[in-house]
């Protein structure tokens, strides 16, 4: 889990139960959770102020598209992992982003994050 | 031999003057009387015979000879007896063709022979003349327009002295005879040509009478002068009824004004006219006649009347009307069609558009007719359109092509359209008919539906994620294997949902479910083979089968064939049409020998009970030495139902 250990991961998720599960998964990787944010506004604030190595973004947060948050992160060069139930996501131009389908397993999340972060050490199930 | 025109001495027809030499007293008064009578008779003469007879009377009377003859050059320039008196056949035959002059020479002098015995003529001629009882004779040339055309002979039985007065008379008679013959010839030619003319007129009259068209002549007031047989038959007339026939009474009342206006145009404007109108025939039936009427004028330009030809065009007019009606129907159908219609020729020029097409593209039809159909194609695909078009119209056999395209509105907008293009071969050449429907609304509805389905999928999967979160917390500190099993099932359900969303919740192929659930396309998925024909499952069956396959798959991974290096799985399905069933077989090979588990887990429950109940099918799960075998049978129908043939 060396690749993700100590990384600061922003989590944006409006469903509390899912957010808790993601926090648990990240904790298992040894990552540090930034957030989780349940609104676009809160997410934006974190995206602009916190030190962030990567972000897991729900595409639709309380009926609003995640785009402003993604743009803020892209502007900072932060790799983004979109988690979506839509099946497919229209990505912003030139964005460095990975998409995983909801629901996802811990393994899938780890794979997505390492790919997004460019870490060459894929996580194996512990 | 040409027969003489006048033969005097025939017993049937005695000459007016005797052949016997009348007491002869030569004096001027007699000569003048002779010439007067001759001139008078020539004046009255209507034919050649009268002229010749009058001339011979003048010769015998004026010159006092009983025998005489008139000879003329024939068409072969041989001089022939044409009239004579007191001359034997033998004499004429002997001397026929003898002449002192060549034909056509100008004004030769007359020859007077007082005594033939003393002349220097040939012995043959002398002998023949003497044998005829002739001693003296005169040859007087007959000229016409200054050229000799023949001669007359005056013969005396004894040597004869020709006085100056008698010589002058002879020459004068000959000259008069030349005029008379000339005049008779002209008169004959006139009579001949008149007869030819009459013959020709008679022939044409006969032709007109018997012609298979209706021919008529009217006077300047429009009264019938002549109707040919066919026209008389049309109106049921005989020839005597023509003059009093009132043809106007047979014109259909609705056409009467038109016909009379057109006919007066012929007389007023003096040009030919064509009139089509209905006339009642002898059977009381109205027929449509096409009349072509020409005005007739006298040499001083007075209108004499009309000559015309009528043709019965009833059938033709009905055919034309039927065609016009069918064209009108076609036009109405096209205009009322619920989709836009465009017709082009083989080169893509617009020949016809309907009202809806005008509305769709925002053009008036006048702006489109004759222009290339590309004007309706958006500029970005306009360039390639002609080649697409010609490829389609040249395709054999010709076929209807349906596709969704963008159209180009006059205001520059692109409009989504569905077009159906059909090339047809007509007697006028290739025509391409396109029907055009505006599918903007449909497109919008489709987009709306896509959006709703995506939203539904999103919510379902979000919910599944929440359920996953709950399970995560529930099992966090207890049974990790149970959590993972649960998570696996949840994900299988989520994948099946994705698949159904992609197929718009209509139906999904069994193969696709197998591929997604068993992750066959992954590099390590090669150990599973999936074979069978195209079978479509409805959403409910698809979800159930996906879960069942997931159970079999995870079981094989944990305990069965896929937990071993050499293990493999064959998944196959086949329709049993006669029984109306679909048979799915899961067969593991090279697995560890397993016994039927005593513990009935969720997997067995799902397979043996839920699947059987949900799908109204039968599930048979057995554990053989080589590995697990699962046979699923479920109803299969041709269409509809949980499973159907693709």
pLDDT of residue B166 exceeding 60: yes
CA distance A60 to A67: 9
Closest CA of chain A from B422, distance in Å: 39
pLDDT of residue B26 exceeding 70: no
Find out whether B188 and B127 touch, Cβ atoms under 8 Å: no
Residue B285 confidence (pLDDT): 93
CA angle B67, B71, B72 (to 5 degrees): 165
Three-state SS letters, B112-132: EECCHHHCCCCHHHHHHHHHC
Interface test with chain A among B460, B465, B484, B494, by most A beta carbons within 10 Å: B465
Q: Among B457, B472, B473, whose Cβ lies nearest the Cβ of A85?
A: B457
Spell B20-30 as b/e; 16+ CB within 10 A means b.
eeeeeeeeeeb
Spell B367-406 as b/e; 16+ CB within 10 A means b.
ebeeebbbebbbeeeeeebeeebeebbeeeeeeebeeebe
Find out whether B316 and B357 touch, Cβ atoms under 8 Å: no
Q: What average pLDDT does the structure give for chain B?
A: 85
B458 vs A contacts (CB less than 8 Å): 60, 84-86
Q: Cβ separation of A15 and B466 shorter than 8 Å?
A: yes
CB pairs under 8 A between A and B: 62
CA angle B318, B323, B326 (to 5 degrees): 125
Q: Cβ separation of A18 and B491 shorter than 8 Å?
A: no
Say if A51 is an interface residue toward chain B (CB within 8 Å): no
Say if B413 is an interface residue toward chain A (CB within 8 Å): no
Find out whether A56 and A31 touch, Cβ atoms under 8 Å: no
Say if B490 is an interface residue toward chain A (CB within 8 Å): yes
Cis bond upstream, residue B397 (ω within 30): yes
Closest CA of chain B from A6, distance in Å: 22
Q: How many CB atoms lie within 10 A of CB B112?
A: 17
For B232-280, the pLDDT digits (tens) are 999 999 988 888 899 999 999 999 999 988 888 887 888 888 999 999 9
Higher-confidence residue: B526 or B287? B287
Closest CA of chain A from B468, distance in Å: 7
B501 vs A contacts (CB less than 8 Å): 87
Between positions 493 and 512 of B, the ones with CB within 8 A of A are 494, 498, 501-502
Find out whether B344 and B432 touch, Cβ atoms under 8 Å: yes
Q: Residue B520 has what DSSP assignment?
A: T
Which residues make Cβ contacts (< 8 Å) with residue A118, sequence separation at least 6?
Answer: A79
Mutual angle of helices A67-75 and A40-49, in 10-degree steps: 0
Three-state SS letters, B224-268: EEEECHHHHHHHCCCHHHCCCCCHHHHECCCCHHHHHHHHHHHHH
Q: Cβ separation of A103 and B465 shorter than 8 Å?
A: yes
For B379-412, the pLDDT digits (tens) are 988 889 998 888 888 888 888 888 889 999 999 9
Joined together, the tokens standing for residue B626 give 């080589």
Q: Cβ separation of A101 and B461 shorter than 8 Å?
A: yes
Q: Among A20, A24, A87, whose Cβ lies nearest the Cβ of B457?
A: A87
Nearest CA-CA partner of A85 in B550, B520, B539, B491: B491
Joined together, the tokens standing for residue B601 give 């887990």
Nearest CA-CA partner of B83 in B155, B4, B19: B4
Find out whether B606 and B544 touch, Cβ atoms under 8 Å: no
A60 vs B contacts (CB less than 8 Å): 458
CA distance B614 to B632: 12
Give the whole-number percent of chain B exceeding pLDDT 70: 92
Nearest CA-CA partner of B634 in B567, B548, B550: B548
CA angle B90, B94, B97 (to 5 degrees): 135
Helix (H, G, I), strand (E, B) or coil at A125: coil
- The whole-number average pLDDT for the span B497-507 is 78
CA angle B286, B291, B295 (to 5 degrees): 145
Q: Cβ separation of B469 and A60 shorter than 8 Å?
A: no
Which residues make Cβ contacts (< 8 Å) with residue A97, sequence separation at least 6?
Answer: A70, A79, A80, A81, A82, A91, A116
Interface test with chain A among B461, B484, B488, by most A beta carbons within 10 Å: B461
Q: Residue B349 has what DSSP assignment?
A: B
Q: Cβ separation of B458 and A84 shorter than 8 Å?
A: yes
Which ipTM score applies to this complex?
0.82
Helix (H, G, I), strand (E, B) or coil at B177: helix
Compare all CA atoms of chain A with the CA of B500 and give the residue at the minimum distance.
A87
Compare all CA atoms of chain B with the CA of A21 and give the residue at the minimum distance.
B469
CA distance B460 to A102: 10
Compare all CA atoms of chain B with the CA of A19 and give the residue at the minimum distance.
B469
Q: How many CB atoms lie within 10 A of CB B197?
A: 10
A62 vs B contacts (CB less than 8 Å): none
Joined together, the tokens standing for residue B250 give 């047979």
Residue B377 confidence (pLDDT): 92
CA distance B394 to B403: 18
Give the whole-number percent of chain B exceeding pLDDT 90: 29
Interface test with chain A among B450, B462, B522, by most A beta carbons within 10 Å: B462
Which residues make Cβ contacts (< 8 Å) with residue B352, sequence separation at least 6?
Answer: B334, B341, B342, B343, B369
A24 vs B contacts (CB less than 8 Å): 472-473, 476
Joined together, the tokens standing for residue B283 give 């059977």
CA angle B138, B139, B145 (to 5 degrees): 140
Q: Cβ separation of A103 and B502 shorter than 8 Å?
A: no
A18 vs B contacts (CB less than 8 Å): 462, 465-466, 468-469
Closest CA of chain A from B475, distance in Å: 11
Closest CA of chain A from B483, distance in Å: 11
Say if A65 is an interface residue toward chain B (CB within 8 Å): no
Work out the burial of residue B305: count CB atoms within 10 Å of its CB; fewer than 13 is exposed, 13-18 middle, 19 or more buried.
buried
Confidence bin at B594 (pLDDT 50/70/90): low
Residue B234 confidence (pLDDT): 93
Compare all CA atoms of chain B with the CA of A13 and give the residue at the minimum distance.
B462
DSSP per position, B572-635: EEEEETTTTEEEEEEEEES----PPPSS--HHHHIIIIIIHHHTT-EEEEEEETTEEEEEEEEE
Q: Residue B524 has what DSSP assignment?
A: G
For B328-345, the pLDDT digits (tens) are 888 888 888 888 999 999
Say if B462 is an interface residue toward chain A (CB within 8 Å): yes
Confidence bin at B22 (pLDDT 50/70/90): very low
Pairing of strands B303-312, B214-219: antiparallel
Compare all CA atoms of chain B with the CA of A126 and give the residue at the minimum distance.
B480
Say if A102 is an interface residue toward chain B (CB within 8 Å): yes
For B134-162, the pLDDT digits (tens) are 999 999 999 888 889 999 999 999 999 99
Q: Cβ separation of A18 and B464 shorter than 8 Å?
A: no
Which residues make Cβ contacts (< 8 Å) with residue B607, sequence separation at least 6?
Answer: B548, B551, B552, B619, B621, B630
Joined together, the tokens standing for residue B137 give 């004779």
Find out whether B588 and B522 touch, Cβ atoms under 8 Å: no
* pLDDT in single tens digits along all 126 residues of chain A: 457 888 899 999 988 888 988 998 998 888 999 989 988 999 999 988 888 888 999 888 888 888 889 888 888 888 888 888 776 555 555 555 778 888 888 888 888 888 777 654 444 433
Q: Cβ separation of A15 and B465 shorter than 8 Å?
A: yes
Find out whether A36 and A23 touch, Cβ atoms under 8 Å: yes
- The whole-number average pLDDT for the span B357-369 is 91
Closest CA of chain A from B491, distance in Å: 6
Nearest CA-CA partner of B528 in B488, B557, B558: B557
A19 vs B contacts (CB less than 8 Å): 469
Residue B333 confidence (pLDDT): 87
A104 vs B contacts (CB less than 8 Å): 491
Say if B334 is an interface residue toward chain A (CB within 8 Å): no
pLDDT of residue B11 exceeding 70: no
Q: How many CB atoms lie within 10 A of CB B638?
A: 9
Confidence bin at B554 (pLDDT 50/70/90): confident
Nearest CA-CA partner of B15 in B48, B53, B44: B53
Nearest CA-CA partner of B184 in B313, B351, B46, B88: B46
CA distance B202 to B567: 117
pLDDT of residue B517 exceeding 50: yes
Q: Among B458, B467, B469, whose Cβ lies nearest the Cβ of A85?
A: B458
pLDDT of residue B575 exceeding 60: yes
Say if A103 is an interface residue toward chain B (CB within 8 Å): yes
CA angle A119, A124, A126 (to 5 degrees): 130
């Amino acid at each position: 889990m060396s690749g993700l250990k100590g990384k600061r991961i922003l989590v944006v998720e409006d469903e509390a139960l899912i957010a808790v599960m993601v926090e648990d998964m990240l904790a298992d990787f040894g990552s540090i959770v930034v957030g989780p944010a349940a609104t676009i506004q809160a997410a934006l604030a974190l995206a602009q102020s916190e030190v962030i190595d990567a972000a897991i973004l729900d595409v639709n947060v309380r009926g609003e598209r995640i785009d402003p948050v993604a743009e803020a992160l892209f502007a900072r060069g932060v790799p983004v992992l979109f988690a979506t139930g839509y099946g497919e996501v229209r990505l912003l131009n030139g964005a460095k982003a990975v998409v995983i389908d909801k629901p996802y397993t811990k393994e899938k999340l780890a794979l997505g994050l390492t790919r997004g972060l460019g870490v060459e050490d894929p996580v194996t199930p512990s | 031999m040409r027969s003489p025109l006048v033969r005097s001495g025939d017993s049937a027809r005695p000459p007016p003057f005797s052949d016997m030499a009348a007491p002869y007293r030569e004096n001027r008064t007699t000569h003048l009387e002779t010439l007067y009578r001759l001139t008078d008779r020539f004046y009255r003469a209507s034919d050649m015979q009268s002229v010749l007879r009058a001339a011979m009377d003048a010769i015998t009377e004026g010159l006092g000879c009983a025998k005489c003859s008139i000879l003329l050059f024939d068409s072969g320039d041989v001089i022939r007896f044409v009239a004579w008196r007191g001359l034997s056949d033998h004499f004429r035959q002997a001397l026929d063709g003898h002449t002192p002059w060549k034909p056509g020479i100008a004004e030769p002098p007359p020859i007077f022979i007082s005594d033939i015995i003393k002349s220097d003529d040939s012995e043959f001629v002398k002998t023949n003349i003497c044998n005829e009882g002739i001693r003296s004779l005169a040859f007087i040339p007959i000229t016409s327009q200054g050229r000799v055309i023949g001669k007359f002979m005056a013969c005396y039985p004894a040597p004869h002295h020709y006085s100056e007065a008698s010589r002058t008379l002879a020459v004068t008679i000959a000259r008069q005879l030349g005029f008379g013959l000339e005049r008779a010839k002209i008169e004959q030619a006139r009579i001949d040509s008149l007869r030819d003319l009459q013959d020709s007129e008679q022939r044409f009259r006969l032709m007109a009478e018997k012609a298979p068209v209706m021919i008529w002549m009217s006077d300047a007031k429009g009264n019938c002068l002549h109707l040919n047989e066919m026209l008389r038959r049309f109106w049921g007339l005989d020839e005597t009824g023509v003059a009093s026939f009132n043809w106007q009474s047979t014109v259909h009342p609705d056409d009467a004004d038109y016909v009379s206006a057109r006919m007066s145009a012929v007389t007023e404007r003096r040009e030919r006219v064509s009139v089509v109108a209905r006339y009642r025939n002898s059977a009381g039936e109205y027929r449509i006649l096409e009349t072509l009427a020409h005005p007739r004028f006298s040499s001083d330009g007075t209108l004499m009347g009309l000559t015309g030809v009528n043709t019965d065009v009833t059938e033709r007019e009905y055919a034309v009307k039927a065609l016009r009606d069918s064209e009108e129907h076609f036009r109405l159908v096209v205009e009322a069609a619920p989709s836009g219609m465009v017709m082009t020729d083989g080169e893509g020029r617009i020949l016809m558009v309907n009202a809806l097409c005008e509305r769709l593209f925002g053009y008036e039809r006048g702006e489109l007719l004759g222009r290339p159909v590309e004007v309706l194609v958006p500029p970005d695909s306009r360039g390639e359109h002609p080649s697409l078009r010609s490829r389609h119209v040249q395709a054999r056999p010709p076929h209807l092509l349906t596709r969704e395209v963008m159209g180009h509105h006059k205001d520059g907008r692109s409009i989504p359209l569905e077009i159906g293009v059909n090339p047809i071969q007509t007697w006028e050449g290739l025509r391409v008919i396109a029907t055009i429907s505006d599918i903007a609304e449909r497109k919008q509805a489709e987009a709306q539906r896509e959006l709703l389905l995506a939203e539904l999928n999103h919510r379902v999967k979000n919910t599944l994620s929440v359920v996953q979160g709950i399970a995560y917390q529930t099992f966090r500190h207890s049974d990790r294997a149970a959590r993972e099993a649960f998570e696996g099932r949840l994900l299988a359900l989520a994948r099946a949902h994705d698949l159904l969303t992609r197929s718009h919740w209509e139906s999904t192929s069994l193969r696709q479910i197998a591929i997604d659930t068993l992750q066959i396309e992954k590099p390590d998925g090669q150990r599973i083979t999936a074979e069978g024909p195209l079978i479509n499952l409805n959403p409910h069956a698809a979800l159930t089968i996906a879960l069942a396959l997931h159970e079999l798959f995870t079981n094989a991974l944990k305990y069965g064939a896929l937990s071993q290096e050499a293990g493999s799985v064959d998944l196959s399905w086949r329709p049993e049409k006669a029984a109306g069933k679909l048979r799915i077989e899961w067969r593991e090979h090279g697995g560890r020998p397993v016994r039927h588990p005593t513990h009935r887990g969720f997997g067995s429950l799902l397979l043996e009970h839920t699947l059987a109940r949900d799908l109204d099918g039968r599930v048979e799960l057995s554990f053989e030495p080589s590995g697990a075998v699962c046979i699923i049978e479920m109803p299969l129908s041709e269409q509809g139902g949980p499973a159907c043939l693709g």
